[in-house]
Amino acid sequence: MSLPMPAAVSASEPRIRVMIVDDAVVVRGLMSRWLSEEKDIEVVGIFRNGREAVDNVIRAKPDVVILDVDMPELDGLAALPLLLARRPDLIIIMASTLTRRNAEISLKALSLGATDYIAKPETNREVTVSPSFRRDIIDRIRQLGRRRTAAARPRKEARPGTLPHAEFEDSHAHPPVQLRPFPPVSPRVLAIGSSTGGPQALQVLLRGLAPVMPRLPVLITQHMPPMFTTILAEHMSRICGGRAHEAVHGEEIKPGYVYIAPGDRHMKVERKSSTAHIVLDDGPPVHFCKPAVDPFFTSAAAAFGPGLLGIVLTGMGVDGASGASVIASAGGAVIVQDEKTSVVWGMPGAAAQTGQCSAVLPIDDIAPRIIKLIHGDRS
């Protein structure tokens, strides 16, 4: 597995300043070495607990903090609000091993203002030999840390009839977004793909869909490891009145239920006669992701055709873009979250640039638009 190429750094674009907070000396040393090898990243602080981080955050002026969950004196969850009180615009990435407790803490941290989370290998030895962990750390820092400079960059005026272009994760220029009309068929199934920032966006979306939830099934692929998807499903179930759960291989897809792809399995859809069923696939990662959105969208489009509405929410990378095109080719529709309300406009931006999407909307406006479509209003 190859690591991404370091980003080019221009004289006008400062390096991303990173603070590492972890009680394990091996983890601190490895992260510091990895990040110091990246030309666009600068390590400005290395601390062993949350108290030291809080005491030094003003002096160090980090853009991004990698914050361990379990630490002595002051753990990550307790340090989080104190760090944000001193630096409200700080990007904080929670780091924890794959236990149920840590998954619960990491998802709670997102609700308290953390930007993202990352699953650490369970032992220090596994950390030293895990290229995927190194890649994930660097990717998250790079993509999230660029948000501040991207937001300050001047925008180009869009041509009439198009949406303004967005600055993507790689900071390259892209043409304005072209939209296609909504198809005449009202949606009968929702397929949602999300990644970084997805848990928060999913909560907003599912709450907004409450009036129509009994009328159609909702299937979700969120980039998450095992255990995290279990906790996510429990959180979504509370929002949906007990109707959300991790998908089970072979189960029938029914209206009124929310099916969430389990971590480390691709979720696909297979139609048998008049009914559609969940298929869990243990195939290789797609776009370094498992579960991945593209195979999910592609199979759902084959199963549901024009009755499928695909939703691409906030997330890094391009997963979901080719699947969105497949949905459109099958006669379905695609809505993507807009850049302003996305934590990262990678996945939705890539899908929007295919020209196969029918709307680019703020997260608060997606559920109302879906409800209108279900009622036959395609304006």
Catalytically active residues, by annotation: 195, 223, 319
Beta partners for residue 329, in sequence order:
none
Strands of 333-337's sheet in order across? 244-246, 258-260, 218-222, 189-194, 308-312, 333-337, 359-361
Do the beta carbons of residue 286 and residue 294 sit within 8 Å?
A: yes
For residue 117, which of 240, 227, 245 has the smallest C-alpha distance? 227
Half-sphere exposure of 116 (CA within 13 A, CB side): 28
Integer Cα distance of 185 and 374 in angstroms: 9
Cβ of 216: how many Cβ atoms within 10 Å?
21
For residue 363, which of 377, 343, 334, 378 has the smallest C-alpha distance? 343
For residue 344, which of 142, 147, 112 has the smallest C-alpha distance? 147
Which residue bears the tokens 């243990």? Answer: 282
Integer Cα distance of 41 and 25 in angstroms: 20
For residue 219, which of 301, 132, 340 has the smallest C-alpha distance? 301
3-state secondary structure of 302: helix
Do the beta carbons of residue 270 and residue 298 sit within 8 Å?
A: no
Do the beta carbons of residue 66 and residue 86 sit within 8 Å?
A: no
135, burial (CB in 10 Å: exposed 0-12, middle 13-18, buried 19+):
middle
